[in-house]
Structure 1
Amino acid sequence: MQINFIERKGHVLTRSTLKCLSQVASINPTLGCIHQCVYCYARGYSMYPGDGNVLVYGNMPEKLKRELTTRRKLPDYVFFSTTCDVLQPIPQVLRVTYELMSTLLEHGVGINLLTKGRIPLKFLELFSRYRKLVHIQVGITTVDRNIQKKIEPFAATPQERLLNIKRLCEIGIVPEVKLDPLIPGVTDTESNATALFWEIQGFGIHSACMNYLFLRPQIKKNLCKALRNTPFLQKILSYYQTGMPLNLLAERSRVTALAVEYRRQAYENISRWAKDFGIDAYVCGCKNPDITGEPLCGMNWGQHCEKHLGQKQLF
């Protein structure tokens, strides 16, 4: 793994190119991610530095401080991050991320974080001081370590993510679970889903967002490379033989999605299984515009922060 510092030239707070987050201030403190999840769309971006390389914007914390002093209005909240996991276990990344988050929280700006990494205790202590300004989604689709390490080789283990949830709940932050991406025939089975719901039910989790894996050429290439010697690959690809092209609201792109009938029925099944454990599993409108009118992620997060902050300025 090669870690190098680079300079951020433009603004720190930017609008995401993802439609679901287009009205949200977002921060991407790195290019590249050590987790190397096989389904990661960012690995196909032209700016991606290549597997095994992480570029850290070392000057970003100081630029953010200057930027906040010159802005006429501060955003309600900031999303971390659309192209990487900011809690990947790299000291340089964690240091920059901590400085960015602490600066925002000190200015009364909320943070929204989606992670599949392990949350260090230092971050938990920070979050506990500003719990009303912190909204966290923990990405987890299975508690089966054998499955997880094939699709997310360097991300936190399922047990580490369950520990994240436990510790967050202990400091008064109830996270949302992100079932994303579900992989057909692998993580969307009743046995896999109910095993996960059984584990998280005791923490008071009441909400889970669902999305299925969609395919792009780079994602398919990564799947074939990572899973070529496993029983998963042909099973997964067989489900997409009857797939369909889909224009995502979440991005300005066209992907191959599972057949709408499959997704609709599978979402209904998972929602029913989750309900047995007191969990509301809903379908994200960002990646399923042909199925649901559920508000986009940015709208949901905006409502969350508005409730806590009593403000309306998203960006």
Structure 2
Amino acid sequence: MGISMKLKLIKIKAKKSFTPTKIPGADYVINQYVGCQYSCMYCYAKFMCRWYKYGKWGEWIVVKENLPELVKKENVKGKVYMSSVSDPYQPIEKKLELTRDILKSMNKNIKLGILTKSDLVLRDIDVFKEFKDIEVGLTINGFNKYIKKKIEPFYPTTEKRMDALKILHENGIKNYAFISPIIPNLVDVGELIKETKNFTDFYWFEFLNLRASGKEFRKWLKQNYPESYEVLSDKVKAEKYIKDVIEIIKSNNIKVRGVCINHPKK
């Protein structure tokens, strides 16, 4: 499937902009899009297909086209996270500019955190500078070309994401690196820190949630990287791996906002 060949847009009118959330580090989420063209094989948000029955994940996008008007009327106290079931800078954003319009309309006193895997985020630096408290993050994982082609083929390269972090830093925008998903033998956490620490304000780390990644990804990982799968699916081995990675993180003397861990049950 090409990234836009089969894309179905479903435009709706939302009732409100901000939704309470239990996501670590946030009080509310705002999702102007539901669904994501990037369609990463391991994406945790695929579960949304249970309620949005428009086809396979990645083939459709729900667009809440009235959010720029709604955010003008709404204000919240606490931290707002954009976005939890999509990427706010997926390719369709280049055309629709919905994320940009929301940012322009939003109260600039709102504490806002944005996470993306796209260097399109650099387009909106001018608007970011209007916010009093904003953090913009890039997800990086350093997958080699073969792995990236198989499980997240449509995203910009790790190099482009790192460059985006650097440019945000150079423009005075508080930034962060979200190292995710951390997978044994596939992701070198120490190397990613080394390559980004000089221009990154803080870090989040997330170990792969094997269960949430879905059957398709689990099957792929087990077939192609059985040792990695074995570590993540075994409680004792997973705990040792996590402990070793955390030691690497600590040894780098960086600012860490959080570490997301999901232990296997067995």
The gaps in structure 1 that reach 5 residues or longer are: 245-257, 291-315
What RMSD, in angstroms, separates the aligned Cα atoms of the two structures?
2.9
Maintained 8 Å contact 2:209/2:262: no
Maintained 8 Å contact 2:134/2:174: no
| Cα shift at 1:281 | 4.6
Q: Distance in 1 between matches of 2:255 and 2:23?
A: 24
| Cα shift at 1:126 | 1.4
Maintained 8 Å contact 1:184/1:239: yes
Structure 1 runs (4+) deviating above 6 angstroms are: none
State the match for 2:216 in structure 1: 221
Q: Distance in 1 between matches of 2:261 and 2:95?
A: 29
State the match for 1:27 in structure 2: 30
Maintained 8 Å contact 1:144/1:158: no
State the match for 1:134 in structure 2: 134
SS, match of residue 139 in structure 1: strand
Maintained 8 Å contact 1:80/1:112: yes
State the match for 1:193 in structure 2: 189
Residue 160 to residue 34, structure 1, CA distance change in 2 (3 Å): same
Q: How does 1:1-315 map to 2 (within 5 A)?
A: 1-16=6-21, 18-20=22-24, 24-45=27-48, 46-48=50-52, 49=54, 50-51=56-57, 52-65=59-72, 67-68=73-74, 74-91=76-93, 95-105=97-107, 107-130=108-131, 132-142=132-142, 144-187=144-187, 192-203=188-199, 205-216=200-211, 219-225=214-220, 231-232=224-225, 234-243=226-235, 259-272=238-251, 275=252, 278-281=253-256, 283-284=258-259, 287=261
Identity of aligned residues (%): 25
Residue 121 to residue 215, structure 1, CA distance change in 2 (3 Å): closer
Higher relative contact order (CA 8 A, sep 6+): 1
Q: Distance in 2 between matches of 1:282 and 1:268?
A: 16
TM-score normalised by L of structure 1: 0.70
Q: Distance in 2 between matches of 1:14 and 1:183?
A: 31
Letter in 2 for 1:113: I
Maintained 8 Å contact 1:145/1:158: no
Q: Distance in 2 between matches of 1:289 and 1:222?
A: 17
Letter in 2 for 1:11: K
Maintained 8 Å contact 1:143/1:196: no
* Bigger Cα displacement from structure 2, 263-272 vs 77-86: 263-272
SS, match of residue 20 in structure 1: coil
TM-score normalised by L of structure 2: 0.82
